[in-house]
Structure 1
């Protein structure tokens, strides 16, 4: 298999008419990394993937693969392979001919390309289905054929556009494990577009969270989960509460935030200027029911919704200046007390559980 390559995206923009889909993003994806481009529909992640692949022209900036600038190269000369969301298999060809198709286009002899296709099908544990056509396969098997077809060219990087979106929930989990196993064994760079936070957390070494054509954060999954860079990341990942207000004090690594009704909260971090808008984040699973311990923080909220989730219970609460505040409680802790919708309950968290969030430049 070809050696993995680093991907270097340098100030790359994509403009469609009057609309800018990608705003001068810069990103380095180390060789051999499993990278997930994560974000909502329309955030620019698929345009970015297609520009890496060469299926979309670059308005400005450069893309480097390894030591080569590939900005103006056609897809076939980039050293990348792309697996499309639809799989795009040929219904009239058997699996061997589907997988070998790109080698046929390159003029590789029939015996050689068929042998290599069989090797790829063996890697995907599909050798027994070699003479079947795509319609005779399950969704998961079709996906593995599409992967084999993409990998037969020995790419330095494999690009995957929402590869699991067409699969049912149980098969998605199985195929996630298969993708991770494959990337680890091949050692090549994977760049995977998804809108699923769970999928990105399960697969990626590097998560790149995108919003409105910009990169909000690029970091390891644990960093994105524990220390979101911006309010958008904190909300999109769904594991932090975000409280917005105005900075009224700052010192010794602690910022005091004032919300609309005059209530105040403290968080770890710094601000450039007192009086400026500021966002803070509190982990949903670090919120407890009860008054704060010494050095802890909290407020009183009215329960607006309760969701039982098996091992945990999700509480949604509103307080003065704070709406849709979430607490994820251990089920045993929740059922030790009687809490109903409409109840007023005290919430608390540790002093280090609240952090000041940054902002992405416009």
Structure 2
């Protein structure tokens, strides 16, 4: 396999007519890492992937692969390979010819390209199916063939556009493990677009959260989970509640904010002035269904929804300006003191469970 390449995206924008899909983003993806672009539909993540691949022109800025600026290179000259969401296999060709297709286009001899295709199918544990056609395969098997076809060109970076979205939940989890293993085995850079938080957390060394054509945060999964950079990241990842208000005091490394409903809350942090708007995030699994005591913060709310999840129970409450303040309680804690929809509840957490969120 060829060496992995660092991908350097420098002030890259994509404009379609009057619409800007990607706003001057800059990002370095380390060589040999597994990077997931994550965000809602229309946030610019697929446009960014297609610009790295060369399937989409860049309106302004540059993309560098290793030491080479590839901004104006056609896809075949970039050292990247793309695996599409639809797999795009040729129905009339057997698996060997499907996998060998790009080598055929490059004029590689029949015996050589078929031998290399078989080697790739072996890597994917698909050699037993080499003479079959795509229609005779399951979704997971078709995916392995599409991967083999993308990897046969020895790319420095493999680009994956929502590769698991067509698979059933059990197969998704299995293919996740296989993708991670494959990336570690090959050692090349993987860039993977998804709208699934769980998928990104499971696979990535680096998660890039996009919203509205901009990067909100690019960091290791644990940092994105524990210290979301903005209110959008906190809400999108789903593991923090967000409370918004205005700063009423900022001293001794603690900022106190007041929400429109009148309650005050504190968070550790600096650099905020009295009167300015501020957002804080509170981990959903750290909130307790008990009244705030001397050392804790909290408020009184009303239960609006309850979801049983097996090992945990998700309780949603309304209060402090939030209509979906969430508590993730262990099943043991919840069933020891259950609550019902419409009940008044007390919610509390410690100062350490809150994070000061930035503004994009």
Contact 1:255/1:271 (<8 A) preserved:
no
> Secondary structure at 2:314's aligned position in 1?
strand
TM-score by length of 1: 0.98
Q: CA deviation at 1:68?
A: 0.3
After TM superposition, the structure 1 stretch with the greater mean CA deviation from structure 2, 234-243 or 283-292, is: 283-292
Residue correspondences, number: 360
> Residues of 2 paired with 1:129 and 1:317: CA distance?
53
Residue 243 in 1 paired to residue 243 in 2?
Answer: yes
> Secondary structure at 1:163's aligned position in 2?
coil
Residue 114 in 1 paired to residue 114 in 2?
Answer: yes
Residue 127 in 1 paired to residue 108 in 2?
Answer: no
After TM superposition, the structure 1 stretch with the greater mean CA deviation from structure 2, 286-295 or 329-338, is: 286-295
After TM superposition, the structure 1 stretch with the greater mean CA deviation from structure 2, 312-321 or 224-233, is: 312-321
| Structure 1 stretches lacking a partner, 5+ long | none
**Shift in CA distance, 156/275, structure 1 to aligned 2, threshold 3 Å:** same
Moved over 6 A (4+): none
Contact 2:247/2:272 (<8 A) preserved:
no
TM-score by length of 2: 0.99
Tell me which residue corresponds to 1:154.
Answer: 154
> Residues of 2 paired with 1:306 and 1:332: CA distance?
15
Contact 1:200/1:207 (<8 A) preserved:
yes
Contact 1:263/1:321 (<8 A) preserved:
no
> Residues of 2 paired with 1:166 and 1:76: CA distance?
26
Tell me which residue corresponds to 2:326.
Answer: 326
Q: CA deviation at 1:276?
A: 1.1
Q: CA deviation at 1:289?
A: 1.3
Tell me which residue corresponds to 1:278.
Answer: 278
> Residues of 1 paired with 2:209 and 2:266: CA distance?
26
Q: CA deviation at 1:139?
A: 0.2
> Residues of 2 paired with 1:168 and 1:261: CA distance?
44
Residue 18 in 1 paired to residue 18 in 2?
Answer: yes
Tell me which residue corresponds to 1:301.
Answer: 301
Contact 1:13/1:20 (<8 A) preserved:
yes
Q: How large is the Cα RMSD of the aligned pairs? A: 0.8
Contact 1:270/1:356 (<8 A) preserved:
no
> Residues of 1 paired with 2:243 and 2:272: CA distance?
18
